[in-house]
Amino acid sequence: MSTKDNLKDAFAGESQANRKYLAFAKKADEEGFKQVAKLFRAAAEAETVHAHNHLRVLGGIKTTKENIQEAVEGETYEFTKMYPQFIEEAKKEGNKEALRSFEIANKVENIHAGLYQKALQNLGKNEDVDYYVCQVCGNTVEKAAPDTCPICGAPKSRFTKVS
C-alpha cells in the first residue's frame, strides 16, 4: 500500500470513529453516564481533527465550488447506485430493519443532492437559508421544519435547526 492509500484508510477510520463515539455518547447520556458521554464527545472531536488533517494532506479539500460539485456527485452516486444495490440485497435476505434504514437514507441522499445542486447554482448570491434536520431519519429541509416529516412521519419537534 502507498502512503496515499494509508491516508485514505486513516481518514475513513477516523471519520467512522467520530460517528461511533458520538453515538456512544448519546447512549451514555441516556443511561445517565454524563462523564463518559463527555469523554466520548471529546474523543470524537479529536477524531474529527485527525480526519480533517488526513483529508487536507490528501488534497481532498478544494474550493467551495469544487467541494459542492464533489458533494453532488457523491450524493447522486449514493441514491442512484449504492443504496439501490443495498436495498435489493436487504430484500433478498429479508432483512427488514436494514431495508428500512437503506430506503430512508436513499430518499434523504436524493434530497441532499438537490440541495447541493441548488447551492451550486446560487453560489455567490449570499442567500441566508435555514436548514432543519430530522433527528429520526436525517431528512434535511430548507426554511422551516414541516409539521410532520414526509420521510418518516416524525413530528416537527424532532427537527433541529442547523447553525
The pLDDT tens digits for 23-53 are 999 999 999 999 999 999 999 999 999 999 9
Q: What angle do CA 66, 10, 82 make, to 5 degrees?
A: 60
Percent of the chain with pLDDT over 90: 96
Please, what is the average pLDDT of the chain?
97
Domains, the chain, ordered by start: 3-58 (1.20.1260.10), 62-127 (1.20.1260.10), 128-163 (2.20.28.10)
Would you place residue 117 in the very low, low, confident or very high pLDDT band (cuts 50, 70, 90)?
Answer: very high
Which residues are paired to 161 by β-bridges?
132
Residue 124's SS3 state is coil
pTM: 0.89
**Selection from 2, 6, 123, 15 nearest residue 69 by Cα:** 123
The 10 Å Cβ neighbour count of residue 83 is 22
Percent of the chain with pLDDT over 70: 100
Strands 159-162 and 140-142: unpaired
C-alpha cell at 120: 451550486
